[in-house]
Amino acid sequence: MTVRTTRERTGKKAATRIACRSRVRLLTTTSALALGMIAATGPAMAKDTSGRARTAAVSAIVELAQASVEHDFNIPSQPLAEALIAFGEQAELQVSFNPATSNGLISNAVSGRLTARAALDRLLAGLPVQQEFSGESNVTISTLDQSGQGPVSLRKLRVEAEGQTATGPVEGYFATNSASGTKTDTPVIETPRAVSVVTADQISDRKVQNVEDALRYTPGVHVNGYGNDPRFDQIQVRGFALTTNTDFRDGLRQSNTGWLSYFKTEPYGLERIDVVKGPGSVLYGQASPGGFVNRVSKRPSLAAENEVELQLGTDEHRQGQFDIGGSVLEDDTLLYRAVGLIRESESNLVGVNDDNRYFAPSVTWTPTEKLSVTVLTQYQDFETAASPRPYQYASGELSHIWAGDEDFDRMRQKQAAAGYEASYEFNDIFSVHQNLRFGSVSTENQYTSAGTLAADGRTLSRSAIGLYEDQDSIVVDTRGQARFRTGPVSHLAIAGIDYFRVDGHIKYLSGTAPSLDLLNPDYSQSIARPSSFITNQNREGTQIGIYAQDQVSWENWRLNFGLRHDKADLDTTNNLTSTTTSADNSATSGNAGVLYLFDSGFAPYASYATSFLPQFSSNASGETYEPTEGEQFEIGLKYQPPGRNSIYTATVYHLTEKNKLTSDPGNPGNQIQTGEQRHIGLELEANMTLLEGLQMTAGYSYIDAEITKNNDGNEGKTPTAVPEHSGSVWTNYAFADNQLEGLQIGAGARFIGETFDDSANTNKNDSQLLFDARISYALDAFLPGATLAVNATNLTDEDQETCEFGYCYRGRGRVVIGSINYRW
């Protein structure tokens, strides 16, 4: 049934609405799930003028809801509100509670055949609440004060009573659920692999400007490997790069041409960022063996707050943004949300700007309990430098001189996307889900390329380069889902097919450019658009995959099995020679995981997973190479303390990528697939609320990476750009003292260990230790809902230089951003 609780309307505006969905077998007109819900059920009862119907309803309750009768329980650890609703369903009891009672509380897991009283005792163990059975058919839940002596006043409820979902708003830093690792809404504590979630509150608190910045505090993730380069999200997970082949948004692939035309993701448009570590091909197709990052869009939700914000900062940073939404219809069957942003910003590097125009409207339509459709759209006009790297002398020294030109050098990218997420529930067992998105990206990327330095040591020759690309893509994922039981075993099974296609047109041209005087650089010279073709090609790539997965629950055991087969094709047409080359790859991938959920909150697990990446090049005989293959063994321990907004994870993994290309000893002009790279690692992560108002995220990562098979002389060496050690900690404290109430302070530290800049391991990049901080103050005494904040990134203005294969990059200097935010 669907029960809706609405706070009393005052003036023009209705206060927070809470939607609870439940399929209790009892008659809906007699249900009293919450104190506030009495208002929803009361009118329905009043309409029932038949005394016989009322008597039958009460009799049904008494008959079905005997507290001493044993029932089969399977309730995972989750937000308390959702756990209580699940308890009511499975115990066939009516549970009365004020929704605010459950605010911020996480239930214990309950499994097995138990009486209702015993199950509820387990569910609420250690929580500051008390339960009271009224007769044999009702239970009342109330909160306790710190001494445990009785009810206290309750705070305003912000979360939806249907519980925290894998795509909805999350209050604070702790997300209980994620769909990225399973394509189903699954508690993180019950997912048998390492999953990290960066919430919108973390993104907002740290005022991040791109997805790389948002992931800085995630263990196992290395970002900014190419310095201050706003063009792309350069992300590495467990030592493997994701940028070119493992870019996902809302569970669907974000395509690229293989050149420079990539989708750019604005972090303000995201509800959360999920990082699933290790191979993920079973559900998503071709992907890096290190893992994948799923960017989850903001979408309509009654729990989302409206806001507007203005920012001013160093490097001429100016930004305005808004996030508004709500219900269109009184019955909440049509919701909307609109997110927008305008940013103009320079940086510590000459010529490197970060300008963006972003708008993302969305609507959700739920005409019935069975059908839900969410339409997601976005448009973005983004501009930065096409060549952000400073000029590097022949000695290897990185200068503060830019070889570019402010009038000519730019990457301007316009992108648009539109799609939907639809689901239909046939009954309590079967449902079907389809996600679809059309996307297009148009990129103009032109820059000056540094040539030779004249004998005078100051005159640098340059050439003009232009890359002009257009791509259109479609990606669709359709899957069926079934929830059923086989004896004492519960199943959540999915089977689906996903299809991906990208059509790209690439023009690569060269031209002339005037020289640059390094002692007196002129960054505003007249440069003509390049006109000499180097490349003019069309690329058409497709991938189709069929997959199946079963999530099994038996008592406290959680098991996961998946299997998939893919076929990927690429046709490349050279428009200069009118020739077309074709290549195809196919691969089968699988995974398996097992987890045991102790009532104490501990959850040890083990998992196995594989991945593949197509290789569309060919050997000397013209044969297309096989895909590279990733294989991972992982064991770990998760701990979610009962009743706490915290989770702790320790993970050890052995990750191998096979079929890598290496030279052929018998044919110097050929390459063979005997190369191999092995990563063994340890990750520690904590996302916790230590006490009221204090939130912390902390992590450490150790990677022993080695090139284990190679014919190029690098066997036994460490791969480039992989730090052996890295760690981070971020804390944010909100004062509750009357005199300091409204004040928040935050601070963070990030350590990135040494890395090698070449495969021979002859040169190293220094380790880095960087600090960030924030302070904010709520102006509730003057303007309720308004907050002033100041954020600083790279607080000590550390000079960061990173090199890879001899090319060096400079990182972002200190950035300070002041903001005023108003929420309602």
Whole-angstrom Cα distance, residue 425 to residue 21? Answer: 13
Partners of 507 in beta bridges: 468, 536
511 by Cβ neighbours in 10 Å (0-12 / 13-18 / 19+) ranks as middle
Q: What's 519-575 look like in SS3?
A: CCCCCCCCCCCCCEEEEEEEEEEEEEEEEEEEEEEECCEEEEEEEEEEEEEEEEEEC
Pull the structure tokens for residue 371: 């059908």
Name the band, by pLDDT with cuts 50, 70 and 90, for residue 134. Answer: low
Return the pLDDT at 148. Answer: 42
Return the pLDDT at 593. Answer: 98
Q: Summarize pLDDT for 39-92 with one digit per residue, the tens.
A: 333 333 333 333 433 333 333 333 333 445 678 888 888 888 888 888 888 887
Q: What is the mean pLDDT of the chain?
A: 86
Q: Summarize pLDDT for 362-411 with one digit per residue, the tens.
A: 999 999 989 999 999 999 999 999 999 999 998 889 999 999 999 999 99
Say if residue 225's pLDDT is above 60.
Answer: yes
Whole-angstrom Cα distance, residue 28 to residue 356? Answer: 50
- Given a contact cutoff of 8 angstroms between Cβ atoms, the answer to whether 747 and 726 are in contact is no
Q: Summarize pLDDT for 409-427 with one digit per residue, the tens.
A: 999 999 999 999 999 999 9
| Helical spans, DSSP H, in 237-334 | 281-284
Say if residue 358's pLDDT is above 50.
Answer: yes
Whole-angstrom Cα distance, residue 704 to residue 708? Answer: 12
Say if residue 156's pLDDT is above 70.
Answer: no
Name the band, by pLDDT with cuts 50, 70 and 90, for residue 164. Answer: low
Q: Summarize pLDDT for 735-794 with one digit per residue, the tens.
A: 988 789 999 999 999 999 999 999 999 999 999 999 999 999 999 888 999 999 999 999
Return the pLDDT at 71. Answer: 81
Return the pLDDT at 279. Answer: 96
Ranges 166-170, 288-292, 556-560, 564-568: which has the least confidence: 166-170
Which range of 93-107, 151-165, 641-655 scores highest in mean pLDDT? It is 641-655
Q: What is the DSSP string of 60-84?
A: HHHHH--TTSEEEEEE-S-BHHHHH
The sign one gets for the Cα dihedral 197, 183, 375, 411 is: positive
367 by Cβ neighbours in 10 Å (0-12 / 13-18 / 19+) ranks as exposed
Q: Summarize pLDDT for 597-639 with one digit per residue, the tens.
A: 999 999 999 999 999 999 888 888 888 899 999 999 999 999 9
Q: Long-range contacts made by residues 620-624, C-beta under 8 angstroms, separation at least 24?
A: 620/664, 620/667, 620/669, 620/670, 624/583, 624/584, 624/585
Contacts of 530 (CB under 8 A, 6+ apart): 446, 464, 465, 466, 509, 510, 511
Phi and psi torsions of 226, nearest 5°: -115, 30
Contacts of 615 (CB under 8 A, 6+ apart): 585, 624, 625, 626, 627, 628, 659, 661, 673
- Global confidence as pTM: 0.82
